Amino acid sequence: MKTTAPPLVIEHLSFRYRTRSELALHDFSLTLGQGELLLVAGTSGCGKTTLIRCVNGLIPNSYKGELSGRIFLYGEEATGMPLSRRSQIVGTVLQDPERQIMGAHVVTEVAFGLENLGLPRGEIIRRVDETLAYLGIAHLRDRETFYLSGGEKQKVALAGVLAMHPSILLLDEPLASLDPASAQEALALFRRLADEGVSVLLVEHRVEDVLAIRPDRVLSMQEGDVVYLGPPEGLADVVDYRQVKMPAEVVIRRAAADPPPSFPTTTAGDGEPLVVFEDVSFSYDDGPPVIQDVNLTIRRGDIVALLGPNGAGKTTLVKHAIGLLKPRQGRVLVEGRDTREMSVAQIAHTLGYVFQSPSHMLFAPTVREELAFGPRNLGYEEPVIAAGVEQAVRTVNLGGLEEYPPLALSFGQQKRVSIAAILAMRSRILVMDEPTAGQDYWNYMAFMNSILQMEGFEAIFFITHDLDLAICYAGRVVLLHDGRVVGDGTPAEVLSDEDLLRRCRLVPTSLLKANLEYLPLTGRFMPAEMLAHVVRGGAGD
């Protein structure tokens, strides 16, 4: 656009959702420069997603409430600007790709926005192929979107936006579903787009990862207000390391001055087998194998982190445990019974599953009713249901939101509702797919601590791309690559193999490096907050 005006100017913006009593944004002002990459950080529900909705026009067009203040796009006031025109300036990638993808195939999904612009067919095909190649996902061109992994869907959603050639790019937790290597590639892409002149507003909880690509500025938010706006190097001095995940060396330095924290100690389970995979292989329709010759046993007392690259078969593996899929070869046993002989409802008494996407689970008019639905269907008595709901609300920090509609909450809050819904069912084994996606550091540490200290769970099994989550909470790490188990052991055993990590697209974090450095002193992996006190004690301070 030929104008000297900044791409985005926000003046005194305030917004309150119609279903909420408090303001989501309060007197918010911001200017985003040409080619600037701005990192937006803050706790879940602090207003980050609301900010994005105001800029792209979903507020007030789709989300209703009280809105005041002004937004300018290249000097033109955005109020009243048709969404069709606004979408050619502002591109948005949502937190949850499930809510963004509509096409049956990748090629039609990426072409969707271009077709709505009425571009010639040849131009559409050229842009689609160009964008898929740019993102390194040309091999997905003719795949059905239904069968893509969460990370693959995120890349396809990004392709659909980039094909429109927006000059302002809004990214809402774009790393949530990506394996570490894919996240690094995506961040490098965002930096390159900014260097090429695109203005990028990047909302992300994985602050440490984003800091590595040198964002031009960092904005930290709390309860709809700006608490910091400035250069990245100033962030560590103003944010609470317990709320915003900072590099391990920053946490170790600052946590050493605070009282030692209390973290649950986790070890590999040595009890009776609860879930057993025997030579399990599976493929969708006539496609290639997604999991191959898997032999795996989950025992009583296990806290297992399942890691691996996007498309490795992690979610497919877990869906076999809960009976949603049946093996093409081999068998899966739940407490000694073949899942082919059990209904999903029968298995649900033993295994409670938290889906990767909250939109796959949530439907009730209030949080309280959402949490009561599962245990009620399992036949629990009302006093037991009420007690379970109350405990689940406390565990995942949903107090005060019990009467809100789940789908009106932020993505991070929706994720916590979906976890609470399974907690309330009192299943014996808790299975979670990307439990920390969309969560700020304080919430994910708080609910993981609470879950591990809860009585009733005989084993916990979670899929994650968050290496640090496995370091802090897993007693056992299982690595999956091309549908095969390629690593199985304690975090220290599995995650110290650099070649294996590289093969599984796992990138060593500052916390992993710190744990490896101090392993002779500690004997096991632990959170940076605990490491700070062990290191200080070992140094004789």
pLDDT digit string, tens, across residues 180-228: 888 888 899 899 999 999 999 999 988 989 999 999 999 999 889 999 9
* Of 34 and 260, more confident: 34
Is the confidence at residue 541, as pLDDT, over 50? no
- Pairing assessment for the beta strands 273-283 and 289-299 based on DSSP bridges: antiparallel
Q: Are 406 and 414 in contact (CB under 8 A)?
A: yes
Q: State the chain's mean pLDDT as an integer.
A: 90
| Three-class SS state of 302 | coil
Q: From CA 140, how far away is CA 510, in angstroms rounded?
A: 32
| Cβ–Cβ < 8 Å for 131, 162 | yes
187 and 289 inside one domain: no
Contacts of 184 (CB under 8 A, 6+ apart): 209, 212, 507
| CATH code (residue 385) | 3.40.50.300
211 with 278, same domain: the answer is no
Q: In what order do the strands lie in the sheet with 351-354?
A: 351-354, 429-433, 459-463, 303-307, 476-481, 484-489
**Is position 185 within any domain?**
yes
Q: Is the pLDDT of residue 504 over 90?
A: yes
Is 70 exceeded by the pLDDT of residue 361?
Answer: yes
The pLDDT value recorded for residue 236 is 85
Q: For residue 105, what are the domain limits?
A: 8-223
Task: Give residue 429's pLDDT band: very low, low, confident or very high (50, 70, 90).
Answer: very high
- For 264-321, the pLDDT digits (tens) are 877 777 889 999 999 999 998 888 899 999 999 999 999 999 999 988 999 999 999 9
Does residue 316 share a domain with residue 445? Answer: yes
Q: What's the pLDDT band for 99 if we cut at 50, 70, 90?
A: confident
| Range in 48-62, 293-307, 417-431, 488-502 with the lowest mean pLDDT | 417-431
Could you read off the pLDDT of 367-394 as tens digits, one per residue?
Answer: 999 999 989 988 889 999 999 999 999 8
Judge whether residue 21 has pLDDT over 70.
Answer: yes
Whether pLDDT at 259 is above 70: yes
**Which is nearest to 371 in space by CA: 359, 357, 387?**
387
Domain co-membership, 285 together with 181 = no
CA neighbours closer than 13 Å in the CB half-sphere of residue 482: 4
What are the CA-CA distances from residue 509 to residues 469, 495, 516 (Å)?
Answer: 11, 11, 11
| Averaged pLDDT, 403-414 | 85
Q: Is residue 239 part of a domain?
A: no
Q: How many domains does the chain have?
A: 2
**285 falls within a domain:** yes
